[in-house]
């Protein structure tokens, strides 16, 4: 029997993403998390302030709380003497020392900055006038009770957590994290901890994707290795349908041992098989139907470099959409190529480069040196579909995908 | 008694960082972590490959393993017929079907790609010649046993984890994460969960820094709130000296209730007090000495916006140095200012901006609206010390610090 080779079709990355991402909806499930655990989580509803901010009339300065009218006409040349009291009330002719944040005592309606005063025993000389309300933060001036502070869909960061805490909130409602089941497949794959024989290799794509999924924002689990058997693969897919997303590694191409697309088709639908991306063409996107539920699935190729790229290109946006996360945005840098990057028109090509002193050197991605080149890679140069590579000396953008 | 106000000195950010960071060394402690937990960790030693990669002579293609000399002279016009066997040995005139990754059977020394063959019953026609070694990945060709794969000091990422796993490693030695004790201070601060009275506020800088420190790469703990009492502060600092870094919030300025610098001086040394940064000038940097150990300390101001900036500017690099992490590198974007950003020459100014459609709008950082403006902020425009602000219409760099 002849070996099969090559895809009949290839879909552009943008079209493949469009087809795949429009086949499922973001997760509806929500949960409450403590403020200490809210970093990076996405609000499932608007946050209303539980109180006025500030929640009392407060001094905005270090100085003296006064009745503003007592200071009228005061200046450096003509200071006004006020009596310093410590009572909770300031009567005409009196003032009380305050710090930034101190409550404004009853009767007072403004604060004179300490820089505009001169102490004089039990009195203080006010060397400038203030108007009513000056240097006072009135209750609710910043945020009123029940004002919307953060909108639904916001991804929280540490300074947001500080604000939520300062408003008295202890927890917030957020969308649940997408649960992702990673299924390594391939009869040449042996578990980590087992010494591989000739023709075998230790499982590695599963653990790589486990860490990627955590970075994307999902909660990963890794399934036991599934051999290249249609029934066993199908069984594993159906079991995993309880998850929010399934990611398989290996067997995603069109060779006779590549059973993933067939398995997906038999329990769901293959939406895309073969994408115009290098490395990573043999990727399949679709969904599983089981228990009245559709679960999106990404079948990644087993070749590690292709597996990594397809994971970042397809699994990341899927996790982001499921979890209501904003799209990933990467740090980029300009660099000058030390060598030509060849690429085939019609494919988007991800070339690993090492970067030093503003110079980017493409790394080997074929044959020997595949694995060892990983240790030199800093980022990627992405050659778009409408270009045939970049020349040595060209200034390119290096994308730090990891 | 007059209120004290204002710093006598201010140190530039660069000099302050230089003084502070050179006052302590990176942590020496190491630990082993499983590959599943190695993402972001820093190797404490070189990683030597425990095996040859590949660990056997493997086919680099789908096709047929052959004795290269049997194919000499073969071409599209003059195919060479070989007998297809399934034995572990290929004799003259024979070949064996192989997949990418299959072991090369004994006797064979090259692989003919399937594209260059034509099946013919129990035979296969070879339509091109191959040279010895062609399409074969020889044992150890990529990495030899005991070759250095990753150098000490490398911060690991998911694709590294995949490589480590594929080499048979189950765990790696990494530097321990810096343990950071965060101590919120201030008698106006009440614990979260307690309704603040006039003049009081819920603790918020502690939880904000807890989340920041996790992002920086440290392991944070938060101490109970410490009131403005020199003995109590000193006691808390000495207790916390068992940690790798102490971060306090509040009381870091020079007012009469600002006791942190005095407390640090009494049990250690204040290296810098007052930095040319806005917001965030009232920051103190130094160390505590207790139990024969020096522990670096950053005293952050209590004003939330200043606290956040000083945390990112001073605490982050301290955690990075302690933990052997590379310096943080932020995503940046160009944007056109919609309004002037004023700044005082001699200070580095961090201005919160909202960004929309390539336009950056500076947000209020004083008076009312401080808190609510947080919800609008996307990034920061950093005005260097030698500039007095930026004008409306200028193109500036927005730094996404969070």
Average pLDDT in chain A: 93
Amino acid A372: pLDDT: 62
Q: Give the C-alpha separation, B276 to B282, whole Å.
A: 9
Q: Please name which of A106, A65, A60 lies closest in space to residue A82, comparing C-alpha atoms.
A: A65
Instruction: Tell me whether residues A199 and B103 touch, CB distance under 8 A.
Output: yes
Report CA-CA distances (Å) from B152 to B53, B218, B244. Answer: 21, 19, 21
Q: State pLDDT tens for residues A171-180.
A: 999 999 999 9
Q: Which of B62, B160, B368 sits opposite A137 (nearest CB)?
A: B368
DSSP sequence for B129-141: ---TTTTEE-TTS
Q: pLDDT by residue (tens digit) across A354-365?
A: 999 999 999 876
Nearest CA among A120, A16, A114, A32 for reference residue A65: A114
What average pLDDT score do residues A326-343 get? 95
CA atoms of A327 and A346, how far apart (whole Å): 25
A residues 227-266 closer than 8 Å to B (CB): 255, 257
Average pLDDT (A278-307) is 94
**Alpha carbon distance B288, B227 (integer Å):** 19
Task: Give, in degrees to the nearest 5, the angle at Cα B177 between B171 and B181.
Answer: 155
Flag whether residue B7 sits within 8 Å of chain A, measured between CB atoms: no
Cβ contacts of A168 on chain B, cutoff 8 Å: 192, 195-196, 202
What are the structure tokens assigned to A240, written together?
């995993």
pLDDT greater than 50 at residue A126: yes
- Which of these, A271, A282, A276, A279, lies nearest to A318 by C-alpha position? A271
Give helix A158-166 / helix B205-216 axis angle, nearest 10°: 160
CA nearest to A64, candidates A84, A91, A80: A84
Pairwise CB contact (< 8 Å): A114 & B5:
yes
| Inter-chain touch B162–A208, beta carbons under 8 Å | yes
Kindly provide the residue ranges of all beta strands, DSSP E only, lying in A291-329, ordered along the sequence.
293-300
Note the ipTM here.
Answer: 0.93
The SS3 call for residue B70 is helix
How far apart CA A170 and CA B204 sit, in angstroms, is 11
Contact criterion met (CB < 8 Å) for B207 and A141 = no
The torsion angles phi and psi of B206, rounded to 5 degrees, stand at -65, -50
**C-beta atoms of A162 and B330 within 8 A:** no
pLDDT per residue, tens digit, chain B (402 aa), is 333 446 777 899 999 999 999 999 999 999 999 999 999 999 999 999 999 988 999 998 889 999 999 999 999 999 999 999 999 999 999 999 998 889 999 999 999 999 999 999 999 999 999 999 999 999 988 889 999 999 999 999 999 999 999 999 999 999 999 999 999 999 999 999 999 999 999 999 999 999 999 999 999 999 999 999 999 999 999 999 999 999 999 999 987 789 999 999 999 999 999 999 999 999 999 999 998 899 999 999 998 889 999 999 999 999 999 999 999 999 999 999 999 999 999 999 999 999 999 999 998 766 545 666 666 789 999 999 999 999 999 999 999 998
Average pLDDT over residues A132-154: 92
Spell out the alpha helix ranges (H) of B125-226: 158-166, 205-216
Indicate if the pLDDT at residue A217 is higher than 80.
yes
Min Cα separation B148/chain A (Å): 9
Token pair for A157? 């960061």
- Taking CB atoms and an 8 Å limit, are A149 and B375 in contact across chains? yes
| Residue-level pLDDT at B8 | 74
Listed in sequence order, the residues at least 6 apart from B331 whose beta carbon sits closer than 8 Å to its beta carbon are: A329, A330, A331, A332, B399, B400
Cβ-Cβ contacts under 8 Å, A215 against chain B: 39, 158
In this structure, are strands A63-66 and A110-113 parallel, antiparallel, or unpaired? antiparallel
Preceding peptide of B110 cis, ω within 30°: no
Distance separating alpha carbons of residues B354 and A344, to the nearest angstrom: 40
- What is the least distance, in Å, from the CA of B292 to any CA of chain A? 33
What distance in Å separates residue A139's CA from the closest CA in chain B?
A: 10
Tokens of B388: 């007095």
Does B39 touch chain A if contact means CB atoms closer than 8 Å? yes
CB contact under 8 A, B367 and A60: yes
Q: Is the predicted pLDDT of residue A100 greater than 90, yes or no? A: no
CA distance B88 to A252: 28
* CA–CA dist B273, B261 (Å, integer): 7
pLDDT of residue A1: 33
Mutate to test the interface with B, among A165, A188, A205 (most CBs of B within 10 A): A165
Place of tokens 């959409």: A321
């Amino acid at each position: 029997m002849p070996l099969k080779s090559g895809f009949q079709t290839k879909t552009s990355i943008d079209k493949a993403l469009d087809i795949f991402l429009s086949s499922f909806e973001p997760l509806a499930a929500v949960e409450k998390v403590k403020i200490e655990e809210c970093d990076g989580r996405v609000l499932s509803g608007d946050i209303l302030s539980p109180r006025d901010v500030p929640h009392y009339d407060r001094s905005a300065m270090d100085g003296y709380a006064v009745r503003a009218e007592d200071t009228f006409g005061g200046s450096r040349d003509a200071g006004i003497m006020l009596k310093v009291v410590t009572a909770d009330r300031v009567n005409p002719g009196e003032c009380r020392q305050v710090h930034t944040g101190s409550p404004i005592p009853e009767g007072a309606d403004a604060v004179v900055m300490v820089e505009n005063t001169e102490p004089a025993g039990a009195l203080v000389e006010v060397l400038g006038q203030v108007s009513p309300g000056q240097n006072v933060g009135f209750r609710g001036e910043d945020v009123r009770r029940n004002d919307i502070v953060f909108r639904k869909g916001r991804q929280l960061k540490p300074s947001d957590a500080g604000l939520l805490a300062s408003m008295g909130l202890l927890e917030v409602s957020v969308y649940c994290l997408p649960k992702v089941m990673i299924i390594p497949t391939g009869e040449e794959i042996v578990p980590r901890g087992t010494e591989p024989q000739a023709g075998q290799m230790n499982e590695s794509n599963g653990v790589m994707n486990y860490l990627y999924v955590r970075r994307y924002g999902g909660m990963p689990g890794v399934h036991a290795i599934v051999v290249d058997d249609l029934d066993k693969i199908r069984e594993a897919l159906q079991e995993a349908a309880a998850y929010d997303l399934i990611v398989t590694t290996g067997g995603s191409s069109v060779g006779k041992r590549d059973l993933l697309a067939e398995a997906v088709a038999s329990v769901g639908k293959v939406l895309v098989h073969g994408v115009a991306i290098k490395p990573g063409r043999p990727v399949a996107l679709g969904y599983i139907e089981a228990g009245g539920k559709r679960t999106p699935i990404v079948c990644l190729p087993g070749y590690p470099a292709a597996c990594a790229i397809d994971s970042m290109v397809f699994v990341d946006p899927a996790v982001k959409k499921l979890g209501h996360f904003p799209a990933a945005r990467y740090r980029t840098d300009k660099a000058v190529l030390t060598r030509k990057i060849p690429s085939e028109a019609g494919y988007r090509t991800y070339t690993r480069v090492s970067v030093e002193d503003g110079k980017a050197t493409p790394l080997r991605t074929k044959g020997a040196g595949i694995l060892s080149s990983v240790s030199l890679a800093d980022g990627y140069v992405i050659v778009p579909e409408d270009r045939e590579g970049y020349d040595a000396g060209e200034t390119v953008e290096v994308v730090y995908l990891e």
